[in-house]
Amino acid sequence: MTSDNQEQTAQSAAYPPPGRLVNPEEGREKPWISSMAEYEALYKESIQQPDKFWTRTANELLTWDKPFTHVTQGSLKEGNMAWFSDGQLNISYNCVDRWAIKDPNRVAFVYEADEPGQASKVTYGELLTKVCGVANVLHSFGLRKGDTVAIYMPMIPEAAVAMLACARLGLVHTVVFAGFSSASLAERVADARCRVVITADEGLRGSRPIRTKAIVDEALKSCPEVERVLVFRRTGNEQVEFNAPRDVWWHEAVAAQRPYCPPVPVSAEDPLFLLYTSGSTGKPKGVVHTSGGYLLGAAMTLKYVFDIHDGDIFCCTADIGWITGHSYVVYGPLALGSTSVVFESVPTYPDASRYWKLVEDHKITQFYTAPTAIRALRRCGDDFVTKCDLSSLRVIGSVGEPINPDAWTWYNEVVGGGRCAVVDTYWQTETGSHVITPLPGATVAKPGSATFPFFGVELAILDPTTGTEIEGNDVSGVLAIKRSWPSMARTIAGDHKRFLETYLSPYPGYYFAGDGASRDADGYYWIRGRVDDVINVSGHRMSTAEVESALIGHNAVAESAVVAAPDELTGQSICAFVTLKDGFEANDKLKAELVKEVRTRIGPIATPKLLILVDELPKTRSGKIIRRILRKVVAGEADQLGDLSTLSDPSILDVLIREVSTAI
Ligand code: PRX
C-alpha cells in the first residue's frame, strides 16, 4: 500500500481504548483519565484557568522547598517566559530522596546489561547513596551551583546517577550521546564551558566494546579548560589510558566521600540541563531546560500518557543522550517514584526477541520505543515476539518520527496483542515533554495520528506564508503553539537571539515547532514532518548544514548539498551530493573516504546512506543550490520537479537523474 492509501485507511480506522484498561481486572486501578469527557474537562481547565490547574498539579507532583506564589509570567511574543519563578526545589530530592525516605527498597532502576542474563536492580535507597557520593565528588572538584558538567556515558544506571548528582548541587548537565564523535563532543564541551567531564572506560553494545574514554581523551585535546574527568569502570579493560591527576576513578573518588550530600535548593527557573540538538544551521544548539517546569512536564506527561500507577515497570528504550532518555528514562519515572528500565544493549542482540524477552523477564507494564525499531523488528518476523509472554504490557508508545499506519497496526496487534493502548507521542527536545498525544484510557486512536494536545498545550495550524491561523477542521499548515507551557525550553545557551529567531520570531506570538501538520475532519492532529533543513533519521535529528560542512572539511570537496531521502526503515536517510575540486578523481575509494569524514566529524548516526559525486549541482542564476530538485530526484519524483525557471542550467537534470538512479 502507498503511504497515502495507508493514511486514508488509517483516517477511517479508529481504535477505542482497550476494554482491559477501561474496565480493569480486580485489584488494578482505573486509568487516571478514563473518558474523553474527563480529558476535555481537564484540558479546558488547563487553558481557561491555567493558574488553578498548574498550581494544583505542581503541588501534587513536586515537593517544593519554597512554595511558588505565582504560576506563570512573560510571553511567547517577548520570549521571556517563566514558570513558578519564586518557587524553589531540588530535582534530585524530588527524584530520589522522597522515595528513598518512604520506601528505600523500592526499585528505581532495572538495569538490563548488554549481555543477556546480567540484569540487576538499583533501589531508591541505593540510588540516594550513589547520587550523594558522586555529588560530593563533584563538590570536591570545586563545582558550584550553575557550573556545567558534560556527561558522555553508556546506557548504564551510573549515567542517571551522574545527572542526578549534578542536579543535587544545582549544576547544569549536558549529556552528549555516546555515539557522537570526539569532534562533536569537543564542540559541545567547549560551547557549554564544561570544566568536568563524566565518562566510563568503555561501553558495550551487542558485545562490541566502544572506546568511550579514548573518545573523550581525543576530544579533550582541544578542550584545555577541562580540569577533571571522572571515569566509571564499566568493562575494566586495562588498556584504557588514564591520565592522573586529570582523570579520577569514580569508585576511588566516591569511596573517599561521605555517603550523604545535602540537596541544594534552586529556583524553579534555574537551568537543569542543556541538550544539544541540530537545527537549520551547521552549529548544534544547546537547548536550555529549567528545573521546576521541566520536571513537572516530564512527571505529568508520564503519569497520564503512560498511565503510571504504583508497582508499574516502565521501559523506554531511548538513550539518555537524547531528550527522550532524559524525560522518560530518568526524570519522569523517578519524579513519580516509579521503576525505570535502563537498557544498555541493542534490540537485535543476541537476536530480534531481545526487547520482548526484556518485557517478559521484568514484567514491563509500559514500553516506549521508536518507529524505526518497530519497523526493523517487524521485518524479523512475528515469531520473535509471539514466543515471549507480553501479557504484563498495558500501554505501548512510539516517539521520534511519524509512525506509518502499517507499523502502528503491527505494534498494536503483534506486540500489544490488541490488548494495549498505543500512544503515538509527538514532542521535541525543545518541548521537554509530550505536547500532542493520546491518553490510553480515553482517546480513540487513529494509526499515524498523535491525536490531541496534552494539558496546557494550545495548538494552532498556521498558513506558512502569511502566518495567519487556519481555523476549523480538515486543514493543513505549519504547527505552532499559542502559549507557553511549563516544560518548554527557555533559551539556547549563550545565544538567546538564536532562540528567538528559530522558535518565536517566525510567527510572532507563537512557538514555531518546525513541523508541518494537518487537523483532520475529526480534529485529530497528523504530523507531516519537518519544514526546515532538518533530517529525521531513525528519530534522530540531523541538520543538513552540519553534514554539508563535515563534507566540505575534506580537501577534495568543492561543494556539497545534503537532502533527506525517504527510507522504509529509518523514515528518512541522508543523501549527499558532492562536487569535487579540480584534480580529484571521482571513484569509490574517495566516496568511502568522504563517508568516513562525516562519521569522524559527527558520528556514525550522520552516515550518508547515499553519496553521489556529480559534476554540477542544480543552482539558481545567482548561484544558490536548489535543494528542492535534489529532494524530488532522490524521492523518485523527478517527474514532479515543478517550476524550473530559476534553474540556471537545465541540461544538468538528465545527468543528475541518471546518476541517482544508478546509485540507488
Ligand atoms: O519532526 C518531529 C519528530 O521529531 C522532531 C523532534 O526531534 P527531537 O527534538 O530529536 O526529539 C525527538 C523525540 C521527542 C519533531 O520536530 N517527531 C517526534 N515525535 C514525533 C515526530 N514526528 C511525528 N510523530 C511523532 N510522534
Q: Is 319 in the pocket of ligand 1 (CB under 6 A)?
A: no
pLDDT value, residue 384: 98
Q: Is 87 in the pocket of ligand 1 (CB under 6 A)?
A: no
pLDDT category of residue 4 using cuts at 50, 70 and 90:
low
Q: Is 323 in the pocket of ligand 1 (CB under 6 A)?
A: yes
List Cα–Cα distances, 325 to 135, 377, 519, in angstroms: 21, 21, 29
How much distance in Å is there from the Cα of 428 to the middle of ligand 1? 5
Distance of alpha carbon 499 from alpha carbon 285, whole angstroms? 9
The answer to whether residues 402 and 450 touch, using CB atoms and an 8 Å cutoff, is no
Q: Is 325 in the pocket of ligand 1 (CB under 6 A)?
A: no
pLDDT value, residue 386: 97
Model pLDDT for residues 123-165, shown as the tens digit of each residue:
999 999 999 999 999 999 999 999 999 999 999 999 999 999 9
Query: Is residue 587 exposed (0-12), middle (13-18) or buried (19+ Cβ within 10 Å)?
Result: exposed
Q: Choose among 210, 263, 254: nearest CA to 232.
A: 254
How much distance in Å is there from the Cα of 427 to the middle of ligand 1? 5
Q: Read out DSSP for 382-396?
A: THHHHTS--TT--EE
Q: Say yes or no to pLDDT of 489 above 90.
A: yes
Q: Any alpha helices (H) in 33-82, and if so which ranges?
A: 36-48, 50-61
Q: Is 541 in the pocket of ligand 1 (CB under 6 A)?
A: yes
Q: Choose among 330, 273, 272: nearest CA to 302.
A: 330
Model pLDDT for residues 509-543, shown as the tens digit of each residue:
999 999 999 999 999 999 999 998 899 999 898 99
SS (H, E, C) 470-508: CCCCCEEEEEEECCCCCCCCCEECCCHHHHHHHHHCCCC
Distance of alpha carbon 309 from alpha carbon 337, whole angstroms? 10
Q: Say yes or no to pLDDT of 6 above 80.
A: no
The answer to whether residues 257 and 136 touch, using CB atoms and an 8 Å cutoff, is yes
**Cα dihedral value 207, 110, 26, 388, nearest 10:** 10
Q: Say yes or no to pLDDT of 1 above 50.
A: no
Query: Is residue 37 exposed (0-12), middle (13-18) or buried (19+ Cβ within 10 Å)?
Result: exposed
Averaged over 236-247, what is the pLDDT? Answer: 96
The answer to whether residues 269 and 292 touch, using CB atoms and an 8 Å cutoff, is yes
Model pLDDT for residues 338-378, shown as the tens digit of each residue:
999 999 999 999 999 999 999 999 999 999 999 999 999 99
Averaged over 16-40, what is the pLDDT? Answer: 92
How much distance in Å is there from the Cα of 487 to the middle of ligand 1? 16
pLDDT value, residue 623: 84
Model pLDDT for residues 536-564, shown as the tens digit of each residue:
999 898 999 999 999 999 999 999 999 99
Q: Is 399 in the pocket of ligand 1 (CB under 6 A)?
A: yes
How much distance in Å is there from the Cα of 475 to the middle of ligand 1? 21
ipTM over 0.90: yes
Handedness of CA 400, 184, 607, 550 (dihedral sign): positive
How much distance in Å is there from the Cα of 585 to the middle of ligand 1? 39
Q: Say yes or no to pLDDT of 379 above 80.
A: yes
Q: Say yes or no to pLDDT of 253 above 60.
A: yes
Distance of alpha carbon 634 from alpha carbon 250, whole angstroms? 49
Residue type, 149: V
Distance of alpha carbon 82 from alpha carbon 426, whole angstroms? 23
Q: Which atom of ligand 1 is nearest to the CA of 534?
A: 1
Q: Is 527 in the pocket of ligand 1 (CB under 6 A)?
A: yes
pLDDT value, residue 8: 59
pTM over 0.90: yes
pLDDT above 70 coverage of the chain, percent: 98
Partnered with residue 612 across adjacent β-strands are 577
pLDDT value, residue 129: 98
Nearest residue by C-alpha to atom 23 in ligand 1: 402
Q: Is 401 in the pocket of ligand 1 (CB under 6 A)?
A: yes
pLDDT value, residue 7: 58
Grid cell locating 279: 537545527
**Lowest-confidence segment of 240-254, 414-428, 431-445, 646-660 by average pLDDT:** 646-660
Q: Is 543 in the pocket of ligand 1 (CB under 6 A)?
A: no
∠ CA 472-476-477, rounded to 5°: 110
Q: What is the mean pLDDT of the chain?
A: 95
How much distance in Å is there from the Cα of 607 to the middle of ligand 1? 20
List Cα–Cα distances, 607 to 69, 188, 370, 548, 567, in angstroms: 50, 20, 19, 12, 14
Residue 245: cis peptide before it, omega within 30 degrees of 0: yes
List Cα–Cα distances, 406 to 2, 348, 393, 411, 656, in angstroms: 10, 21, 21, 9, 33
Q: Is 427 in the pocket of ligand 1 (CB under 6 A)?
A: yes
Q: Which atom of ligand 1 is nearest to the CA of 513?
A: 16
Distance of alpha carbon 259 from alpha carbon 256, whole angstroms? 9
